[in-house]
Each structure stands twice: as C-alpha cells, then as structure tokens.
Amino acid sequence: MPAVPLRNRTYRRLFTAQVVALVGTGLATVALGLLAYDLAGEDASAVLGTALAIKMVAYVTVAPLVDAVAHRIPRRTLLVATDLARATVALALPFVTQIWQVYVLILLLQAASAAFTPTFQAALPAVLPDERDYTRALSLSRLAYDLESLFSPALAAGLLSLVSYDWLFAGTSAGFLASAALVVSCVLPPPSARADGPRGSVRRATCGIRLFCATPRLRALLALDLAVAAAGAMVIVHTVVLVRHDLGRSAGAVSVALAAYGAGSMAVALLLPRVLDRVGDRAVMLPAAFALPAVFTAYGLATLGGPSWPALLTAWCAFGAASSALLTPTGRLLRRSTPPSGLPAAFAAQFSLSHACWLLTYPLAGWVGASAGAGVAGWVLGAVALTGAVAATWLWPSGDAVSSGPPSVPSAGGAPAPSGLALKRRPG
C-alpha cells in the first residue's frame, strides 16, 4: 500500500503523534487488566467490565459536548491540552489501592480521550482533501490502532520480563507527552466557523446524531458498530481471565493473545485500500459483520470441552480481521454523507454513538462472564453481533440510494449548508 499521505508534512506528524499515543494506550490496556486481576482476582472481568463501561459513558457524553464548543478553541490547543491531561492521569494509576480509585481515574482519562479523538479525526479531511489520499490515511490510522493490540502487547511482554506492570503506566504517560510535542509542531486548519448562542450550541451538540438518524448508510453503520463492540468486548474483557485463570498462563501470554487480535486487524488494514478502490464499502463491511458471529460460534464449539490456547489465538485473530474490515471505511462513509462544515459534528456523533454500543457490550461481557463464565458470555455476545449484522443489512439499501438527505449543518457564515454532499448513487 503506497503511503502517499505520509508525504504530507502535517499529516506525517499527526500520524506519528497518533502512533506514539496509541502505543502508550496499549501498554495501559495490558497494565489495567493485570491491575484489575491483582485487585479482584477471579472477579477481574467484572471490574474491567465496569471500568470500561465508565469509559464508554465518558465517550458517549463528552464528545458531543466538546464538539458544541470546539469551534471556539484552536484545534492544536485542544489536542495538546487533552494529551497533557491523559499523561497526568496515567501517572496516577500505579498508585491506586482501591477499585473505586481505578473507576475515577478511568473516567478522567477517557473524558480527555473523548475530546481528543473526534477533534483529531475531523482535522484529517482538511489536511488531506483528496479522497484517495484520505482513504489511505484511514487505513494507516487503522494500522496505528492495531499497534495498540499488536506492538504494544509485544512491548509489554518484553517489559514485564524486566519490570512490574506499574511501569507500563509510565510508558503510557510518555506516549501522551510525545504526542503533545508532535501536535505542537503542526499547523492545523482552523475548524469551520459556526453560529453562536445557546440554541446554536444545542443544535451543534445534536446535529451529528440527527445526521445519523436521517442517513440510511449511517444508521447501518451504527448497527455495524454494535457487532464490532460485541467482538471487542469479548477480547478486551475476557482475555486476562481466560489466559491467566482458565489456561493458567503467564502475564506475558496476555500480551500474546492481544497481539493475535492486532495481527488479524493489521493484515486486513494493509490490504483494504486496494479492495476499496475496486468495490464499494457495503460489499466489504456487511460480509465482515456476518463473519463476527461465525467466529463466536466456531470458538464456542471448539471450547465446549474446555479452554484451548490455539482456539483462542485463532478466534482473536479472526475477530481482529473482521473488525478492521468494518472500522477502516467508517471515515469514508462520514465524509461522503456530510458537508465539510459538518464533519466535526459527524465524527463526534460517530465517536459517541459507536461507544454507546461498547457501553452495552462491556458490562454485558463483564457481568455475564463473572456470573456464568466466559463461555456463556461468548454465546451472548455472538447473538449481539448477529443482531448488528442483520440490522445493518436491512438498514443499508443495496443501491445505497439516499432518499432523504441529512439535516442541515451550520456553515461558516451561520446559514445552513446543503444537506450533505451530492450523495451520488455509487456503492458504499
């Protein structure tokens, strides 16, 4: 895959900032699971499920509110401030001794992330106006996210052979500080001006959600997000218990299992831009959605006689591959369904609504796993994934003909912009 977007100096620095921040986040993911296991033992899945549900509450509520006021703050200032806030919270995590302290710090950390991520995503189309470059940038961003579940666990496994997991949080903080330094070095396009006033702020906070409700392909995208969240919750919540308790393997094996998920995701992300150049997004995303419940079923049948290390690695790799095929084209759908002035609201809504799906699946995975076991949780989450895949197929017309455009979005001059781009009748 030609890395043409990396020739753009601003994007190159933003991408590097994303990579180093996500490597740090990946270290925190491993460390948080081990911290939960130390604090709660066999009930670690319930602790993780609750902590991750708190994370999703922050994502769902904070992102639209930040978008409503973000036009008043320079993008660079907002990104750097949130990176510094995340670095500070990460440094505090090794010192917790009570489960409730974990919950409070996770809330603060993820509130900052809920402000950072949509702002970062909305800046990319302005930095890369060409659609082919933007498509490849989306794939590169997907690869960056895969580092959180591939390189970061491998790095964590190496570090855990030398130091305790508490030091992984220091690596998380260092990643956020490096990200802030790189963002400072960039010159970012300013966000589009929007109308001021209390009523205007309320409309901005709900504009993206109204866009999703009005656009068939975006309603389908929300159903696909539910399928991804079901698979992701199985991996993130249950890996530490399956590996450490059920299989009796070392802390380093937790990193290996998470790396299998990242390997599958990365392989698909590398191939996907060329595939998307030839076929539409719908032709890629819907089959991938149905692959997720198929993997749940295969893993459940393979482990009826007891936990299996090869089955876990294979299933986690397949989960990663299918999830990548669903997540990578998301930015393309938003870009072609929204006028440029509405992109920040669209990305904020996608961030918020997709994480509302995780808000359902994280506690479901944790609480069902704690009460009935990971096997039962897998069947339940598989049913959720199947529901998402079926709903997306029903919601997304095969010709992708949009009969009603999205709601109007305030333009630079305060007047409504056209209802979406010219929504051409093309695949995906």
pLDDT band at residue 223 under the 50/70/90 scheme: very high
pLDDT tens digits along 386-415:
999 999 999 998 876 443 334 444 433 333
Distance CA 171, CA 82 (A): 17
Domain range list for the chain: 4-185+197-395
pLDDT tens digits along 354-370:
878 888 898 888 889 88
Distance CA 348, CA 345 (A): 5
User: What is the percent of the chain with per-residue pLDDT over 90, rounded to a whole number?
Assistant: 20
| Predicted confidence (pLDDT) at residue 421 exceeds the cutoff of 50 | no
Token readout for 7 is: 């020739």
Cβ atoms of 169 and 152 within 8 Å: the answer is no
Distance CA 123, CA 120 (A): 5
pLDDT band at residue 201 under the 50/70/90 scheme: very low
Q: Measure the N-to-C terminal CA separation of the chain; round to a whole number of Å.
A: 21
Architecture of the domain spanning 4-185+197-395 = Up-down Bundle (1.20)
Distance CA 282, CA 105 (A): 39
Q: What is the mean pLDDT of residues 101-111?
A: 82
| Predicted confidence (pLDDT) at residue 195 exceeds the cutoff of 60 | no
Across the chain, mean pLDDT equals 78
pLDDT band at residue 297 under the 50/70/90 scheme: very high
The whole-number pLDDT of residue 234 equals 93
Q: What is the 3-state secondary structure (H, E, C) of the chain?
A: CCCHHHHCHHHHHHHHHHHHHHHHHHHHHHHHHHHHHHHHHHHHHHHHHHHHHHHHHHHHHHHHHHHHHHCCCCHHHHHHHHHHHHHHHHHHHHHCCCHHHHHHHHHHHHHHHHHHHHHHHHHHHHHCCCHHHHHHHHHHHHHHHHHHHCHHHHHHHHHHCCCCCHHHHHHHHHHHHHHHHHHHCCCCCCCCCCCCCHHHHHHHHHHHHHHHHHCHHHHHHHHHHHHHHHHHHHHHHHHHHHHHHHCCCCHHHHHHHHHHHHHHHHHHHHHHHHHHHHCCHHHHHHHHHHHHHHHHHHHHHHCCCCCCHHHHHHHHHHHHHHHHHHHCCHHHHHHHCCCHHHHHHHHHHHHHHHHHHHHHHHHHHHHHHHHHCHHHHHHHHHHHHHHHHHHHHHHCCCCCCCCCCCCCCECCCCCECCCCCCCCCCCC
Pick the more confident residue, 142 or 187. Answer: 187
Distance CA 387, CA 306 (A): 27
